[in-house]
Structure 1
Amino acid sequence: MEAMIINQQNKIVYTREMQQVIMTVINAVAKLVRLPKNTEVSVMVVDNSYIQELNFIYRQQNRPTDVLSFAMNELGEDEPDYDFGGDVNVLGDIVISLEQAQVQSEEYGHSLNRELGYLVAHGMLHLLGYDHETEDEKKLMRNLEDKIMHSVKLER
Structure 2
Amino acid sequence: MDNIYFFKEDCQFDLRKLKKHKKWLNQLADQYKYEIAEINYIFCSDEYLHKINLDYLDHDTYTDIITFDLNDSEEQNNLIESDIFISIDRIKDNANNLKIGFKQELSRVMAHGVLHLIGFKDKTEDEKSKMREAENKALELL
TM-score of the superposition, structure 1-length normalised?
0.77
Tell me which amino acid in the other structure corresponds to 1:41.
I
- Indicate yes or no: 2:86 matched with 1:96: yes
- Pairing of 1:6-21 with structure 2 (within 5 A): 6-10=7-11, 12-17=12-17, 19-20=18-19
- Indicate yes or no: 2:101 matched with 1:111: yes
- Indicate yes or no: 2:56 matched with 1:66: no
CA gap of 1:59–1:40, structure 2 versus 1, over 3 A, is same
Give the gaps of 5 or more residues in structure 1.
74-80
Question: Larger C-alpha radius of gyration, 1 or 2?
Answer: 1
Q: Greater relative contact order: 1 or 2 (C-alpha under 8 angstroms, separation 6 or more)?
A: 1
CA distance in 2, matches of 1:57, 1:68: 12
Runs of 4+ in 1 over 4 A off after TM superposition: none
Which residue in the other structure is 1:124 paired with?
114
SS of 2:111's equivalent in the other structure is helix
| C-alpha contact (below 8 Å) 2:8/2:42 kept by paired residues | yes
Which residue in the other structure is 1:30 paired with?
29
TM-score of the superposition, structure 2-length normalised?
0.83
CA distance in 1, matches of 2:95, 2:42: 19
Which one has a larger percent helix, Structure 1 or Structure 2?
A: 2
Q: Percent identity?
A: 25
CA distance in 2, matches of 1:114, 1:108: 11
Deviation at 1:5, TM superposition (A): 1.2
RMSD: 2.5
Deviation at 1:21, TM superposition (A): 5.6
CA distance in 2, matches of 1:137, 1:66: 18
SS of 1:113's equivalent in the other structure is helix
CA distance in 1, matches of 2:9, 2:135: 25
Question: Mean alpha-carbon deviation: is it higher for 99-108 or for 137-146?
Answer: 137-146
CA distance in 2, matches of 1:24, 1:125: 16
CA gap of 1:66–1:20, structure 2 versus 1, over 3 A, is same
Which residue in the other structure is 1:77 paired with?
none
Tell me which amino acid in the other structure corresponds to 1:16.
R
Q: Deviations over 1:101-143 (max 9, x none)?
A: 1111111111111111011011111122211122332222222
| C-alpha contact (below 8 Å) 1:25/1:117 kept by paired residues | no
CA gap of 1:101–1:116, structure 2 versus 1, over 3 A, is same
SS of 1:64's equivalent in the other structure is coil
Which residue in the other structure is 1:148 paired with?
138
